[in-house]
Chain A
């Protein structure tokens, strides 16, 4: 009890009002701070671990070459060639930027990424400055903050007040960074400049007044898309981004500039003024318009798909999607089948209930002989429905099921015979490409972008055998038909020496070859080339097949191989599951055709019964892409009208027909799938192929002299959804590559 406390006690009792407060002091409060630090000997708790931005993983190509820098006082180890911005990203600090993009070259013209580096007279542009060992980087000092505020002020000076009418509002980099890093008040009293809008086509809407001249679109077009359409004209405040020659952006990757543009200068024309991003529900799904299986996010509002946006997947599509993927969604709203229909005696369709439709189909099933039953799976079918179709037809006694695009004589024994064996990301390691009968630019635009990336980065050589095509990278046109292949196989062609000397040669064969009669001969020649060039090795299998449809790989994995070649000619019962591109001319006129699909496309013209099914955005289905990666779509919107999911229709039909299939739920169908192809349950994983083409027996067929033909004549309209889409019709009219 110290004297002070006694005194306060005494004072308290004497004076009831507490106007005077006694100060109670303790001895350790009276000592100086230096002494206090010596007293506390427990060290301060260590700072929490910093994880890289976005949960990224840092890849050290050469672990001995790691350097250490200090970001905001925190030491971090980075590989040698990284820039200051990347070092800060590894340390978990997100530096604002407009012109820098991790997949494009460095421009350094926005100056928003300025950070303070010790021993530097002025703040450095972190996106361009390489990180040197021992550098001390400070991102939250007053200098860095003032720099950001200043840059923001400059950018907003000529930026129009368009936020209420700009589509990018809510997802705009300029809005977000000005809220986070800009100053709170402006002091701009002059007039703003405006720029005339450019016409880039029916897909990209331009309001060039909003452009902040970051040049991301210019760099994307030249580097990734390979078309040098866009450029910067003028200087200073009169700078404009445009094509100058009034050209439309015809590239198949042109929609990606919409994602890349940080402001609302380049936006999606079909999506203009339709919705704000906060009212949209995003569903992670897979694209099915081609075989690449790009990861997408379907943004929907209620029952309507509003737009499709790419998702990051380093192995398949990085951050890009093709125009067909991005803009085909309005085909999901037109020409939809929503009620079961039966063709009456007068040739017109009448809407009936599911009971009646299924009973009619079941009756027709029992009236034909098993050998006359044929099933064709469509381009957009998922694996569940294909296994259900195969099971149903097998139970009815027929084994004539196949998938569109696989041809009738397809060989599904070896997986390496129908997949992209090196993987889409593995193509980056190739140094010589031989494209046989495939135009990757229209068949799989993302694979083409990957080839272009490799060609650009490592100066890889590309040889192309097929009709004259406009690939957006340097290539040698070696020939148009199989004779060129025989020349290369026998070593007479100068390209064969290139193949032999390559470290990782890649041969890409197009799936259009499946439809040819001399398919086996061509494949044997290609395998001979592969053997010569040492293309197939234990560590690298460069003999790749580029598929055309999203359903082909899963169909071949599940064994949808027909028994006989010409089953369509003698068929009396045809079950088309979304198959629109089957040639039904040879079908007899009394054959009973059932069409189960979601669009009233070509398949319904010959159908007797229509069963409405769900499109890819409305069902949960497993798809396998051309490299063998298994992915699933998720339902983003409810089904249209009375439509049901494909496998459910087949299961119900089997019960009505008396051959009830043993599965009732999605899990049961998937466990059935796993008995045939167990890898189909490992989602988002790529099952590599084990046996290569060396196991195949010799082929004795002769090659025909027909040159390779263009498989895809109109890039924008290839399947039921894209053919029903108004945007795709506009694109094919305006932008088709002549």
Chain B
């Protein structure tokens, strides 16, 4: 039913950064619009709220916010659209969605705790491994 909804179109190469930006926002909107469908398909009602999913998606967008090369942005958009298509057409399974978009990365939350507030990079690396 949703197979045709999101045909992965290879976007023509963005001319400028503004066009890439516009395309990014379009993609974000389409991702947010498909959140209710995703929750219905994978039965995530008791697991997560739509706003949490939105925040997660936004965080993943923000991770790449520093990129200025339009070709790279186009590539990332392509991959994102492919991923969104897979999720919406039920090509993934519940544990994928929970693991990738609900639980999040513990490493980041650990570092932002109060344990290592004043620690230097040396100490943070020291606690992790010997080779840095």
Contacts and interface: CB of A to CB of B under 8 A. Distances in A.
Nearest to B131: A638
A664 B127 contact: no
A107 B126 CA distance: 58
A644 B126 contact: yes
B113 to A, nearest CB: 12
Contacts, number: 30
Nearest to A661: B122
Nearest to A643: B130
Contacts of B131: 638
Interface string A627-648: 0000000000011000111001
Contacts of B119: 655
Contacts of B126: 354, 644, 648, 651-652
Interface string A647-674: 0100110011000100010000000000
B123 A652 contact: yes
Interface string B96-131: 000000000000000000010001111100110011
Contacts of A648: 126, 130
B124 to A, nearest CB: 10
A314 B123 CA distance: 42
A644 B115 CA distance: 21
A614 B122 CA distance: 18
A664 B120 CA distance: 10
A355 interface: yes
Nearest to B116: A355
Contacts of A656: 123
Contacts of B127: 353-355, 652
Nearest to A640: B130
Interface string B8-34: 000000000000000000000000000
A613 to B, nearest CB: 10
A656 B131 CA distance: 20
B53 to A, nearest CB: 34
A479 B82 CA distance: 90
A644 B130 contact: yes
Nearest to B120: A655
Contacts of B120: 655, 660, 664
B94 to A, nearest CB: 34
B122 A651 contact: yes
A643 B126 CA distance: 10
Contacts of A652: 122-123, 126-127
A124 to B, nearest CB: 57
B60 to A, nearest CB: 30
Contacts of A645: 130
B122 A664 contact: yes
A663 to B, nearest CB: 9
A75 B80 CA distance: 74
Contacts of A614: 130
A638 B119 CA distance: 26
Of the candidates B115, B119, B127, B130, the one having the most CB atoms from chain A within 10 angstroms of its own CB is B130
B122 A655 contact: yes
A645 B122 CA distance: 13
B128 to A, nearest CB: 9
Contacts of B115: 355
Contacts of A655: 119-120, 122-123
A553 to B, nearest CB: 27
A509 to B, nearest CB: 40
Nearest to B127: A354
A643 B115 CA distance: 21
A612 to B, nearest CB: 10
A433 to B, nearest CB: 45
Nearest to A664: B122
Contacts of A644: 126, 130
A616 to B, nearest CB: 15
B130 to A, nearest CB: 5
Nearest to A655: B123
B131 to A, nearest CB: 8
A652 B127 CA distance: 9
B107 to A, nearest CB: 15
A423 to B, nearest CB: 36
Interface in B47-102: none
Contacts of A639: 130
Contacts of B123: 652, 655-656
Contacts of B122: 651-652, 655, 664
A353 B127 CA distance: 9
A638 B121 CA distance: 22
A355 B121 CA distance: 14
A250 B64 CA distance: 68
A511 to B, nearest CB: 33
Nearest to B128: A354
Nearest to A649: B126
Contacts of A651: 122, 126
A582 to B, nearest CB: 26
A354 B129 CA distance: 10
Interface in A399-454: none
A646 to B, nearest CB: 11
A97 B119 CA distance: 62
Nearest to A648: B126
A651 B122 CA distance: 9
A46 B82 CA distance: 68
Nearest to A665: B122
Interface string A163-194: 00000000000000000000000000000000
A655 B118 CA distance: 10
Nearest to A663: B122
B104 to A, nearest CB: 23
Contacts of B121: 664
A363 B120 CA distance: 19
B117 to A, nearest CB: 13
17 contacts: A353-B127, A354-B127, A614-B130, A638-B130, A644-B130, A645-B130, A648-B130, A652-B122, A652-B123, A652-B126, A652-B127, A655-B120, A655-B122, A656-B123, A664-B120, A664-B121, A664-B122
Interface of B: 115, 119-123, 126-127, 130-131
**Which 9 residue pairs of A and B lie closest in terms of their CB atoms, listed nearest first?**
A652-B126, A664-B122, A644-B130, A639-B130, A655-B123, A354-B127, A652-B123, A648-B126, A355-B127
